[in-house]
Structure 1
């Protein structure tokens, strides 16, 4: 159910910002050390991205359904062309995005599964109290 006090687009914007923050946090260090030093970190990150990918198809489907309903009710206009044309192309692209997101989720499931047996055998960083 939509909270009418919250713009629903706030959530994907926060997700995009979280991915950007992950990318920054995992950049290799200037000394050449990788931004992800332990296999457990990689495993957990892949798992989190897998969960994200699994949730994307529903999001894309719900957007397409909303546009279809708005079109059916005659609530769409278009700056050029026809609302029917733009709605149809948008919905087709969203169906394609659903398929790609499902394929992404499957690929990430494989990556997560095959990363599972990997362990770290290098030196431990003594300054990390979380180990």
Structure 2
């Protein structure tokens, strides 16, 4: 029997931290050059963001289903109002998030495709590690 020792919410927290790290890594450097020095790095990053966005709708659906299952089993309480009202509101918001994530994935697919023919023609930084 497999035992899960990781809280499921740790995974999206780690994804959020990974995006934060990307944001820090891609800030403009002191030399005034962008943190992404080569277009291939941007291409790969956009592709990774696209994959992330494509996976979000399933995550949102499964989260909503889990709450619905807990409600149906009678395992939910609410600080105010009824659990059913809060689950319904959560479900509606998650459905909206699914639609936005699908649109985000489509936009990122277009960005990924548009960036694919780009190449670098500037000076090569021998110290660069983002080739």
**Same fold (TM > 0.5):** yes
Q: For 1:104 and 1:92, how far apart are their aligned partners in 2?
A: 18
Q: Structure 2 matches for 1:37-56, cutoff 5 A?
A: 37-56=37-56
Task: Tell me the matched-pair count.
Answer: 130
Report the CA distance between 1:126 and its aligned residue. Answer: 2.5
CA contact (8 A) 2:61 2:94 kept: yes
Q: Deviations over 1:23-53 (max 9, x none)?
A: 0000001221111110000000000111111
What SS does the corresponding residue of 1:77 show, helix, strand or coil? coil
TM-score, reference length from structure 1: 0.93
Query: C-alpha deviations, 1:83-114, integer Å up to 9, x for none?
Result: 11101000000010111111100000000001
Q: CA shift at 1:130, angstroms?
A: 7.3
Alignment of 1:14-93 (within 5 A): 14-93=14-93
Ranges in structure 2 where 5+ consecutive residues have no aligned partner: none
Report the CA distance between 1:74 and its aligned residue: 1.2
Instruction: Find the counterpart in structure 1 of residue 108 from structure 2.
Output: 108
Extract unaligned runs of 5+ from structure 1. Answer: none
TM-score, length-scaled by structure 2: 0.93
Q: What is the aligned-residue RMSD (CA, Å)? A: 1.5
In structure 1, distance between residues paired with 2:129 and 2:55:
34
